[in-house]
Amino acid sequence: MREKAKLSVRSKKWALRWLSIGIILILISCVGASVLQTNFYKTQVYTFKVPTSGGKYLSCNMYRPKTASAENKVPLVIATAGTYASKEQMDIPGIELSRRGIAVITFDPYMHGLSSGGTEPYDQFAWTDAGMIALVEFAAANLDFVDTGRIGVTGHSLGGRIISNTLAHYGVAYEKALAQAQEPDSEGGTEITEKEQAYARSQNKVMAAFASGVQTSEISFGVKDDTFAIHGIKGAPEDKEMPQRAYASVAVYNGFNDEFGRGNYQVDGVAYDLSVHPDMISLVNSVLVPEDKVDTIEIDHFYGNAGDHTLRVVYNPPEVHAYERFSTTEAREISDFFTKAFEMENPVTPENQLWLLKECFNFLGFIGMFLLLVPLASLFMRLPLFAELATSVPEKLPALKSGRSKLIFWGTWLFSAVASWQFFLPAIGISTALFQVQSKQGTLTWLFPQKMTNFVWVWAIFNAIVGLALFWLSYRFNGSKNGVTPKMWGIKTSGKELLKSLLLAFTVCACFFSVVFLANYFFVADFRIWVLAIKVFKPIHIIYAVTYAVMFFPYYFMVSVSTNSSRRVEGQKEWVNLLICGIGNILGLALMQFVMYSNVYATGINPYGTACLNCIQTYQLLVLLFIVPYLCRYLFKLTGKVWLGAMISCLTVVTINVANSMLHIPA
């Protein structure tokens, strides 16, 4: 029997019911996230832009305690995330510090999020402040509610490197001011006067720094010696000026199991035990008198004192890189550190945290967003323009009765997963060869400017080729001999149907992302969990999303064909069949992650080396690509064809990925 595509009154009720559920979840998400991130409306949260040099600008979120004013100044912490991340991922400092009376600015570095492109080549960008110094100067000069003597900075990964560069900038400025004060023709001659000392202190505008997930050698700033070719930031340009030490209280928070540390960044054979790491020992000893210097440091122990901005503390929890900014432990330590560094009475205990509950509300909205897609398509298909897209749903493929059919079904399922896993690392090299300009460090370009998206595309196209080849071979050698006909595939269509399907896909996706912008406008909220996010983007992201969607479409077409034309068989419950399709679509990625992290935890060695960054960037794909077969199946039931599911899935997922990646474009 051929099942009629469901666009009946009942189907309308189904669509309205699920659309309503999605909208309700989104509203609960937005209100809950807003209440929590504002500390029950005790904190003012808003977005703003700061123009900087060379026509650039920074996109920022402000978390301002409502008690802060020109008469009641508060400390300020400026926070930023890592490579391929955005300011919205800095919930921990934004929410938790503002609850404790500290204003917080989170920002997107250049080429990230809603900030402008860059003017520095990318390799030099890694050794600049990426806009943090401009924000420090902006805050000190323009925010009358900020205590300019208590400004701090924090960041994760690339954000930690940005902190290092910021500390270097202000440390050099402070040392230069002192050196000028000792010139014979200065006010006090070779003696430094109180006025000269005060001026030197005014040049150092950062009093505390919390660096998370940054390679230790980039934040040491100990006493200069012959240990490092260039002290402080290894690999920095030779002309980069470095201070004797960081003239601020400094905390370093690095996971013991950080993929970028274990097995990759050892010094003299020392693994990522920071208690014996030379760079961390140098960091602590830089503020100790000779008789107090240490050979090993005590983790979580505070050295120095806050009064003269010499606090030093090192944290080394058993965490991996990306988890460091999604950790209740880090939330506790960052709250404790800054309240100590700013010599504040902490009105809220470090264990009292709201950020994770806020993330849970964000995730409710994430679920609600994906519940919108199929009902929206169903309702739009009731319009005369799209009504003809509803065709009869083909009958399912015959049940897996013979051993041969079962072997081919499960064999192709497993083979595609293993092939996907094994091609992951080669895809990095092939991407570098295909996109030579884009892959070269130091390149800013308007053409295919997302290095990580380029790599994922190479991997996806390989999977598309393998998947479509397996589909054809399984039909050729098994399906065609067991009653399978091309009519069961739902592939045959017309040019008119394709154009209408494409128009419907754009319409649904436009509605989908409009909800995100409304949530951001009214609630300063989006829909996320950890590294997975549906967020707002700039107009230029739309251009690149469409460009990349065209490139990625063969992959999503393959997934739709695999889900509906190859694995939709009689004899399997629908939920079981969809679970098989969903797991099969991400099993290769899951195997890759399992191999990496089992090695990291078991042996302390990351087997993928610096390619672990590519692995980390596929976290969100584990969720998104698991969802795609479900979208393709339900949209297949609406149209009887594989095309609409492939189009909507492609546009949605690619836009999400492009919005969350780094644009290597000029300002």
Phi first, then psi, for residue 218 (nearest 5°) are -95, 0
| Residue 160: predicted pLDDT | 85
For the cut 90, the answer to whether the pLDDT of residue 256 exceeds it is no
Tokens of 283: 């960091």
Residue type, 311: L
pLDDT in tens, 624-666: 999 999 999 999 999 999 999 999 999 999 999 999 998 877 7
Percent of the chain with pLDDT over 90: 64
pLDDT over 50 (residue 4): no
Amino acid in the structure at residue 227: T
Type of residue at 483:
G
Unique residue bearing structure tokens 């013991």: 256
pLDDT score recorded for residue 7: 47
Rg (CA), the chain: 28
pLDDT at residue 265 tops 60: no
CB burial string 362-371: b at 16+ within 10 A, e below: bbbbbebbbb
Q: Say what percent of the chain tops pLDDT 70.
A: 90
The answer to which of 225-234, 395-404, 418-427 has the lowest mean pLDDT is 225-234
CA–CA gap between residue 467 and residue 416 (Å, rounded) = 7
How far apart CA 146 and CA 138 sit, in angstroms, is 11
H helix or E strand, kind and range, residue 105: strand 103-107
At 340-382, the pLDDT tens digits run 999 998 889 999 999 999 999 999 999 999 999 999 999 999 9
Give the integer Cα–Cα distance in Å for 591 and 615: 11
537 contact partners, CB below 8 Å, separation of at least 6: 114, 545, 655, 658, 659
Mean pLDDT of 524-533: 93
pLDDT single digits (tens) 315-336: 999 898 888 889 999 999 999 9
Which range is least confidently modeled, 24-38, 212-226, 326-340, 442-456?
212-226
pLDDT at 362: 97
pLDDT at residue number 478: 86
The whole-number pLDDT of residue 270 equals 44
Q: Are 192 and 239 in contact (CB under 8 A)?
A: no
For the beta carbon of residue 27, count every other beta carbon within 10 angstroms. 15
CB 111 within 8 A of CB 665: yes
- Quote the pLDDT of residue 443: 59
Three-state SS string over 394-429 comes to CCCECCCCCHHHHHHHHHHHHHHHHHHHHCHHHHHH
Mean pLDDT estimate for the chain:
88
Distance CA 109, CA 128 (A): 11
Q: pTM here? A: 0.91
Distance CA(581)–CA(480), nearest Å, equals 22
Position with higher pLDDT, 117 vs 377:
377
pLDDT band at 269 (very low <50, low <70, confident <90, very high): very low
What tens digit of pLDDT does each residue of 169-223 get? 899 899 898 888 888 887 777 888 888 888 888 899 999 999 998 765 444 444 4
Mean pLDDT, residues 432-437 taken together: 77
Please report the pLDDT score of residue 237 as a whole number.
59
Instruction: Determine contact, residues 591/417, Cβ cutoff 8 Å.
Output: yes
Phi/psi region, residue 582 (left: phi>0; alpha: psi -120 to 50; beta: rest), is alpha
In this prediction, residue 123 carries a pLDDT of 57
Res. 282: pLDDT tops 80: yes
User: Can you give the pLDDT at residue 271?
Assistant: 53
For residues 425-445, give the mean pLDDT.
Answer: 75
Predicted local confidence at residue 321, as pLDDT? 87
Residue of 84 and 250 predicted with greater confidence: 250
- Return the domain boundaries, the chain: 9-27+359-660, 40-353
Q: Which fold has domain 40-353?
A: Rossmann fold (3.40.50)
Determine the average pLDDT of the residues in 149-153. 96
Q: What is the structure's pLDDT at 181?
A: 82
